[in-house]
Each structure stands twice: as structure tokens, then as C-alpha cells.
Amino acid sequence: MPGRNLRARMAAALAIAVASSGGSSFAEEGLWTFDAFPSEAVRQSYGVDVDKPFLDRLRLGSGRLSSGCSAGFVSAEGLIQTNHHCVLDCIQQLTPSGVDPLVTPVLAPKLEDEQSCPGLTMDVLQEITDVTDEMAAATNGKEGEAFGSARDAARDAIEERCLAGEADRVCEVVSLYQGGQYKLYRYRTFDDLRMVLGVEGDVGSFGGDPDNFNFPRYALDVAFLRAWHDDRPVATPDHFRWRSDPIEEGELLFVAGSPGETSRLWTVQRIAFVRDQTAPFWLTLWAELRGRLTVFATQGPEESRIASQALYDVENWFKGWLGERMAIVPPEVMADLAAREKELRRRIDADPKLAAATKGAFEALEQIEAEHSRTFYPFRLVEDGMWGNSDALDYGRTLLRAAEDAGRDDKGEWRAEPLEVDAWVTDEDRVEPRLDELRLGFWLSKVREYLTTDDPLVRRILGDESPEGLAARVVKDTKLGDAAMRRKLVDGGARAVMESDDPMLVFLRGFDSEARALDEHYAKVIVAGREREYGRIARARFALDGDRVYPDATGTPRVSYGTAAGWTEPSGRVVPYATRFEGLSRRATGAIPYKLAPLWEKALPSLDPKVILNVATTNDTVGGNSGSPVLDREGRVVGAMFDGNFASLGGTYFFDPEQNRSVIVAATAVEEALLRVYRLERIVAELHK
């Protein structure tokens, strides 16, 4: 799932206030916490006993990568399996200049060849403690801002106590069921991860955009890292054993990872708004930007390099929105969601105490969504969505707001003390002016298109210029792409920023107060309003069902269970549960994106054509699960989850057991590749130790 982490980040940005619980009666639905797994249901369906020791092994063997993915230990010497697309940044950093990571792998023939991935870490969940009572005691009787402050103070105290000064520890108080439950999650952090094998892009992402979120699939989306400490591999007794036997159709499988975000208890009105407005808006925007980037990239190798990451992101976002939207378009799906909402309201109303506690919540949400609808376009266009279209604009906007926040001194002069900004603002980074110009010109043209030329805010933004002309001018002449200039502005404080004649800053100063007002309205009216009302509903739901239902995903460790299984498309087409090397041979026509990396072109004819490569499973997973170890009933690793099929994109809103499939790269293919393509006998030996 190339960029599932990106999808997750985007979903997070759009779906900040999420409903708390999304239980249902579907057999294999569920993003279960490690301390509330439905073992009885699994025992009844599969005759398998998922006891605490088994769950502990899943928990201690799996982890959360700082890249937004999941991963698992597969040897006692700190060997980690994850996805290729989860460590793309590291692969690009470790690939020597002049070498193309699409066709050349990063691999370490010997242990001492393993190189560190800068900034990459993995957290492994050590302990879960219920702190609901302590949190409740601290916030009892408090409301509004006092409630928020007390809650934050209690959380900070619990986390501080948990940390106990340990360097390799991470502690988080996690709010589940939207405040229905608070749990302290204590992790052990591994902060020196070294690259053992990062496969070639033309293998890890084989099939590119057409195959993304599709199955049958033929990608070896795998990477191996190793946790080191003090220049030695870390001992990891809690690891998964490697299974060389192929995955069998119908066999029970567990996925242990950290799914990012789901929205399974949004009101029907809010989901209909996504169907009718949010999704079509982003889809048409990404489609047009994709078109611009596609032709830009064909102009030459330098243009291709400049546009590649942006194009990849946009294609991934587009397909993600397309799948989410397609899932909620069928009238019967909306009718089903409406029936669930009605049933929940009936159950709440049947309990006088719960009815009183949630009185007016649904009605308030209706008002909030109407207000959201009213301000959707200006907020998305001028504030929210304008970020990310130009690095120089992002720098400028961040500096400008830091300056505004610093404010003026007693004499009414802008302050000259150095600004407080995050490190990324002053770090060295490569800015591509041509990409900035293309994206900013595009974005400003959409601002004018949707809000119209006659809108006063559009007039403030564009003045007498065309969108493309304005973008070209400010991008060409701005100095904000230079880290030294940014540091100079930070050091010069608010005064330097507010008095700068840098054209990007001049441009932004012309309308930033309006943009910030839109942001503040969104945060205070829309987001805060949703949190308050969804929270009331979620607590009622938790009172009704407790943890018999799972909480919505929140980027914390979960387990799902399912089976290896194909499916039947609504068109009647039957999709088998697995693909094999023979299928990869047929698909590798040489036409991009079906072009194999050279090592594979050479090796593939000699590989066993029957070896299973990718497998579809019924496990309930979403963005963030990429790289999750997939375990059999004995807890042995049989693959790594890396994508879902197209229907899985509907998983944001509901789980469809007939159509929703996770997609995994099978250990069988990985082992074959390690031995016969990459000649990493030492790793295969380690897996079998």
C-alpha cells in the first residue's frame, strides 16, 4: 500500500474528531486492542485459543514505525520485517548519488554493512494500564476550559511518572471510545534501525498506480531492518518465528499493527457530505493537479525527478478518495448506515439516564455540519488546502504566524526577539521552485474558480494578477527557499518578518488574517463542536456496550483476525486468494509500471513459478497497518501486510466482510527472493535459527 501512511495522515487531517466506537455483528470486523480481544468469538469460529500469552507474543513482537507504518521482529538478533514503501525515505538517503533506487536495491551482504536510517524509530508496546479512574478523578465536576486543562495536567503527570527517566521509553495516555476509556500505553523505543534490505522500487512498487489498492497483486513490498544499540544488534527474544510453508486458502491469520484512523460512527449526514462535497472536491482537485504534473514530468528527466514524489502522493490521494467515495455511494450502504444510527438512538433513548446525557447531541451535530458546509470552500481553499502547495509558502506562512503570535512590544513595535518555530522551518531542505510554481499557480487558480473573481477575499489574494502569474512572480523572487535566510528571519524576530519585502511574505501578509480567521472558526466551531457532541454520544455507546465493541482506530497497536480468502466482485468476477511468481512473469510486460528491476528480470525465470507472492485476507486493516506482521494460528510470521483492495478503502466508514480484503506479501516469496535474488543467505539462516 504505497503511501498508506500518507493516506492516514490525510484522513487524520480531514477527520480530526472521530466517533468512538464502531462495533457490529460482522464476523471478522474489528480493530481490537490487545487487552480486549474477542478470544471467545475466535474460539467458537475457529477452535483456536487466543490466550493472554499468545496476545502478549503478538504485542511484543510487533511495533510502530515513526514513518507511520507497522513492523515485526523476525529474529532474536533484532531483525525487523516491514514494507518497502514504509522505508522509502531511508532507501533514498542510503542510495548513492547517481544510483536509481527504482532499479537498484539497498542491501547489506554482511552485518557490518547495515547502515542506519536517520530519524527512523520503532515503538513496541510493553504494558497497558487502565487510568480511567485517575483521569476521571482529576477532571470530575469540571467543564469547558477547566476540564481541558485538568485533563491535560493529569495526562502529563501520568506520562511523566511512567517515563521514570528511561531513555528508551515512550508513554502515552490514550483516549479510547472518545474519552469513554483512558489507557496508559508504555512502549520501548528502538532508535537505531539499520537497513538490511530495501528492495528496488520496480519490485517493491511493481504495478505502480494501476495496481495500487488492487488485487490480484504482484509486488514484493518488503524491507528488512535491524535494531541496533551501542553498535551491536539488539537481542529480541520476543520475535516471531518464520514459516516457510505457504499460506493456505481459508487459514486463520492475525495482523498485529497500528491502524491509523477510522470514522465508523460518523453521523449519516456527515458521511453524505463526504460523498457529495468533500470527496468530489478533492477528487477533481487532485485529478487536475495530477494532469498538470503528469505532463510536466514528461518534459525531461529533471522534470520527472522534480515531479515524482508529488505525482506519487497525488495519485495515492486520488485513489484513496475514489475508493472511499465509491464505498458510500450505493444507496443501500447509506440506508444501512442510517438504520444503524437510528438503532443506536433508539437504544440511547430507551435509557433515561443516557437519553438525558446525550440530549440534543445529534441535533447539535446537524447544526455543526450545516455550518461546516457553509464555510467548506473558503476554509479548504484559502487555509487548509493551501498548505503543501509550495514549500516557500509553507515556510512563509509559518514564519508570519510565529511573528504575529510574538506580537508587538510596549511601544507598538514588532518584537525583535528570535522567533520560536519548529526545527523544520530552519533545517536545510531542498526546495524545487518549478514545482512550487506549478502547484501554487494551480492552487490559486482553484481559489478563484471556486470562490469566483468577484469574491472580496479572492480580490485580496490575487490583486490584479492572474493565479499563474502571481505564483511565478513570488516563487521566482522569494528567498525563503534558502535556510540561511529563514534563520536570519527567525533571529530577527517578528520585526524582521513583518518588515521583510520578500515577495512571498508580502503576498501572504495581504490575506493571512482572513486565512487565520477561517482556521480559528474551523477549530473552535466545527472541530470543538464535533468533539463535544460525538464525545457525549460515544460515552453513551460505551455505557451500553463497554468494550464488547472495538474503539475506532487511533494510531495505536491493535490486532485483527481473518482468513486467507479471495472474493467475488459484484460483476461476478472471482478473484483467487493468492498470486504466484508465474503471474508476476506474465504481468511483467516491460511497459511501465509493469517493468521489473534488472536483478529480477534475470532471476525470475529460474524461480519456482508456484511460489505464492501476494495473498488477500479478510482481516480488518486500514492505513497505518502497512508493514504489520501477519501471523498464523501458532504465531508464526507468514507475511507482511502492505495494502488493501479497492473495497478496503471503504474501511474508513464500515467493514464489508464480502468485499474488503487486506493484501499481504507472503513469506514464501520473500524467502525465495532473499536466497535467489539478493543472495542474503545469512538472513535466511537467521530467520530459521
Which stretches of the chain bind a second copy, using CB under 8 A?
A: 207, 209-211, 214, 216, 272, 275-277, 280, 283-285, 287-296, 299, 318, 322, 325, 329, 331, 374, 438, 442, 448-449, 452-454, 464-466, 469, 571, 587, 589-594
Contacts of 573 (CB under 8 A, 6+ apart): none
Cα distance between residue 598 and residue 589, in whole Å: 13
Number of CB atoms found within 10 A of residue 271's CB:
24
Minimum distance, C-beta of residue 299 to a second copy, in the bound complex (Å):
7
Task: Give the containing element (helix H, strand E) for 254.
Answer: strand 252-257
Minimum distance, C-beta of residue 204 to a second copy, in the bound complex (Å):
18
Looking at the Cβ atoms of 454 and 501, the one nearer to a second copy is: 454
Minimum distance, C-beta of residue 454 to a second copy, in the bound complex (Å):
6
Strand 70-73 to 79-82 pairing:
antiparallel
Minimum distance, C-beta of residue 458 to a second copy, in the bound complex (Å):
9
Cα distance between residue 7 and residue 262, in whole Å: 12
Cα distance between residue 64 and residue 54, in whole Å: 19
Cα distance between residue 586 and residue 594, in whole Å: 10
**Helix or strand or coil: residue 222?**
coil
Grid cell digits, residue 339: 438504520
Residue that the C-alpha cell 485580496 belongs to: 460
Minimum distance, C-beta of residue 228 to a second copy, in the bound complex (Å):
40
Looking at the Cβ atoms of 37 and 594, the one nearer to a second copy is: 594
Please give the DSSP secondary-structure letter assigned to residue 100.
-
Minimum distance, C-beta of residue 318 to a second copy, in the bound complex (Å):
8
**Helix or strand or coil: residue 635?**
coil
CB 69 within 8 A of CB 627: yes
Cα distance between residue 616 and residue 574, in whole Å: 13
Minimum distance, C-beta of residue 260 to a second copy, in the bound complex (Å):
25
Minimum distance, C-beta of residue 451 to a second copy, in the bound complex (Å):
10
Looking at the Cβ atoms of 47 and 590, the one nearer to a second copy is: 590
Looking at the Cβ atoms of 148 and 510, the one nearer to a second copy is: 510
End-to-end CA distance of the chain: give it in Å, rounded. 30
Looking at the Cβ atoms of 58 and 293, the one nearer to a second copy is: 293
Instruction: Indicate the burial class of 606 (C-beta count within 10 angstroms; 0-12, 13-18, 19 or more).
Output: exposed
Looking at the Cβ atoms of 593 and 657, the one nearer to a second copy is: 593
Looking at the Cβ atoms of 211 and 383, the one nearer to a second copy is: 211
Minimum distance, C-beta of residue 18 to a second copy, in the bound complex (Å):
23
Looking at the Cβ atoms of 42 and 333, the one nearer to a second copy is: 333
Grid cell digits, residue 435: 514545482
Number of CB atoms found within 10 A of residue 457's CB:
16
Grid cell digits, residue 113: 554493512
CB 206 within 8 A of CB 594: yes
Looking at the Cβ atoms of 407 and 605, the one nearer to a second copy is: 605
Looking at the Cβ atoms of 140 and 452, the one nearer to a second copy is: 452
Distances (CA, A) of 21 to 225, 334, 366, 536, 667: 35, 18, 20, 12, 33
Cα distance between residue 661 and residue 543, in whole Å: 31
Looking at the Cβ atoms of 316 and 426, the one nearer to a second copy is: 316
Please, how many CA atoms are within 13 Å of residue 41, restricted to the half-sphere of its CB? Answer: 15
Minimum distance, C-beta of residue 371 to a second copy, in the bound complex (Å):
13
Minimum distance, C-beta of residue 290 to a second copy, in the bound complex (Å):
6
Minimum distance, C-beta of residue 468 to a second copy, in the bound complex (Å):
8
For residues 615-631, one letter each, b for 16 or more C-beta atoms within 10 angstroms of the residue's C-beta and e for the rest, the string is bbbbbbbbbbbbbbbbb
Looking at the Cβ atoms of 186 and 292, the one nearer to a second copy is: 292
Number of CB atoms found within 10 A of residue 671's CB:
18
Task: Give the containing element (helix H, strand E) for 125.
Answer: strand 122-130
